[in-house]
Amino acid sequence: MKQTKKEFIKELLAKLTLREKIGQMTQLNGRYFCETEAELTGPFEKLGISAKDLAMIGSVLYLSSAEEAIAVQSKHLEDDPNHIPMLIMMDVIHGYRTIFPIPLAMGASFDPDLMEQCSQMAAKEASASGVHVTFTPMVDYVRDARWGRVMETMGEDTLLNSRMGAAQVKGFQGDGYGRPGSLATCVKHFAAYGGAEAGRDYNMVEISERLLREYYLPAYKACLDAGAPMLMPSFNSMNGVPSTANSFLMNQVLRGEWGFDGVVISDYWAIKELISQGVAKDNREAALKAMKCGCDVEMASTYYLNELEKLVRDGVVSEAEIDRSVERILSLKWDCGLFEDPYQGASSEKEVECQLTKENRAIAETAAEKCAVLLKNDGVLPFSKQVKKIALIGPFAESRSIIGNWRANGKDEEAVSVADGVRNLLPGAEIAVVQGCSAELDQFDEGEFPAAIDAAKNADVVILCVGEQQDYSGEGKSRVDLKLPGVQEKLCEAVCAVNPNTAVLLFNGRPLVLTGLHKCAPAILEMWFPGTEGGNAAAKLLFGDANPCGVIPMSFPKSVGQCPIYYNHPSTGRPKKAGDDDVFQPFHSNYIDCGNLPLYPFGYGLSYSSFRYESMELDTHELTKDGQIKVTVKIANQSDRDGEKAVQLYFHDPVASSVRPVQSLLDFKKVLIPAGKTAKVEFTITEPQLRYYDADCSYHSDPGDFDLFVGYADHPELKDSFRLLD
């Protein structure tokens, strides 16, 4: 009779020595398994381990191919006396070999189904190369564009973050992560990593428990509820305690309130960093604090391997505590199917069959099209496909470095540039390409300006390709100046002045300050970092073969001085009166030199279609605690072009026991509306959607009146109200 998982793990655990158990709790970089012992003498000494210790290591990260994964796993199974397979993990963030748009861009799609499809594609590609676990979704709630890792989030709204993160879990894991073509997911970074002070990576977070529970925690919980079996604590300290050693987060909330019994893995060197953060005096105390907060696996450093045995011998840590962590790790390995097939079908042949295929490129192209946001259009776009002369100007005109940071095994050289895309779409057009200037932060050479201006003067249409380099956003890439790097804005002003048929294409991993560009450019199309097929998608959008339908997932400030800026800000006692946002109003909550509102707000995005909200009807205006209200919104496409629309429903609680946001996203749906047709979109409102955490962290709703509107942040199209009954 076949053993059950529980029986198998109990029997295996009984065979393991204490050191072998601790080995299961250790993860090392793939280099330690791919280089020779002679090459690793120095690194081994630094870590305090020997080549013999590798035989008991439980997991590895960053192997680059099926061949490497199979070789490392085979060698490990030969050397490990218990023949326990290693888990192979990797940051598969927005694609593996075929790269789809960065997560912030995917947030702009407002399309969880699209996110699920892209994640499923990435899982198949990564699984073929031997990966078992991906360190995603990252659902860190964020309000400050200075932080480089905004590119990995889905933006500034909790509901959007939750739904898109859950869609990633579903896409990567499919019907079960214990089969080829799927990956287990690891939710990160728990918690409030996106709240780093001043947007500086790894910086402290000071946050009230009320704010934490209402805005930052829900997306992590949504991903765990969707079935994610792993979680990673964040680097930052929160209210003075680093997350890896934060008992409130890890023991009270995660293990206690949420009942999570999956695997917790530290971030890279995070246990080691407890010393530099000043909460552990030495290696022993760092290992002890992380262990006592339920961290099952140590990533990259070896404090567990070097300290836990002594802590058990000294009676500070019980072997039962070690066993609980190892049981979770072995359970994950069982669920990943590794005890039946340690390779999970990985092979070099399968890599060729399923990676960077025509079908995968098509998915990536569709995603890039649906994530693009049309920020401005003075009637310039779409360009006619009959144009004869096209000027492609800017540092990203021919660049293939537009796939974004955290690109796994994606290669820039395999990406489609804007120039490639335009040539593919319009092979008969005469195309002049001029770089014009650099996109580097410290480069201000205007030597190519004359050539760029001449090309613009002689062209029927101009495509200006500007932005920030893909390695300027991501981990450790915080910025204090969010303007276009170098002299790119000056180049745009010069080119737009000589040719009014100019459209700007933006490539960036965060909201930028585009106030000057907005004034001079006739059209602006935000492409983010669109992935492998970015150039083809850009060309189809510019020339009308695709219709922009993305919307802003994170506010674009008018000035960096507005940061952090977010749509769901709380009411103040002296709110600025309605009117011209740039006019200063004395003794009101505003700036004397800038408006309060962002340049481009959350939920904003233009289209080549023309949409009009016709009506919003509620089937009742009274909501009981166990009842519901059905909201029916009719929206017409008054153009001759099919288009997709992100229909957004917002609410406001005018009177509550704690100050509430001026607006909150209640629900959203992405709908395709054929030309000349009217769509009917239905939403359901229930009492739990109106709950919030008050000053005492009590979670409840307040009876009374609620305002309701459809549109986008700060721009209601239709309004109504309803009453929640006591």
Helices (H), 409-567: 418-425, 449-457, 488-498, 515-520, 534-542
Q: Give the integer Cα–Cα distance in Å for 149 and 510.
A: 8
CA atoms of 246 and 726, how far apart (whole Å): 38
- Say how far apart CA 579 and CA 714 lie, in whole Å: 12
Report whether 149 contacts 193 (CB < 8 A): yes
Alpha-carbon distance values, 517 to 2, 523, 535 (Å): 67, 10, 22
Task: Name the nearest CA neighbour of 213 among 724, 716, 691.
Answer: 691
3-state secondary structure of 387: coil
Cβ-count burial 597-631 (b if 16+ within 10 Å, e if not): bbbbbbbbbbbbbebebeebebeeeebeeeeebeb
Alpha helices in 240-318 (DSSP H): 247, 273-276, 283-292, 303-313
Q: Is the peptide bond before 218 cis (omega within 30 degrees of 0)?
A: no
Which residue(s) pair with 712 in the sheet? 715
707 is catalytic: no
- For residues 483, 488, 491, 497, the Cα torsion angle rounded to the nearest 10 degrees is -40
Q: Beta partners for 617?
A: 632
Residue 315, classified by CB atoms within 10 Å of its CB into exposed (0-12), middle (13-18) or buried (19+), is exposed
Among the options 80, 111, 140, 267, which is catalytic?
Answer: 267
Q: Are 444 and 402 in contact (CB under 8 A)?
A: no
* CB-based burial label for 152 (10 Å; 0-12, 13-18, 19+): buried
The conformation of residue 52, written as its DSSP 8-state character, comes to G
User: Residue 714's CB: how many other CB atoms inside 10 A?
Assistant: 18
Contact by Cβ (8 Å): 224, 253: no
Distance CA 109, CA 373 (A): 9
CA dihedral (63, 68, 74, 80) positive or negative: negative
The DSSP 8-state label assigned to residue 560 in this structure reads G
Rounded Cα–Cα distance for residues 411 and 103 (Å): 18
Catalytic residues: 267
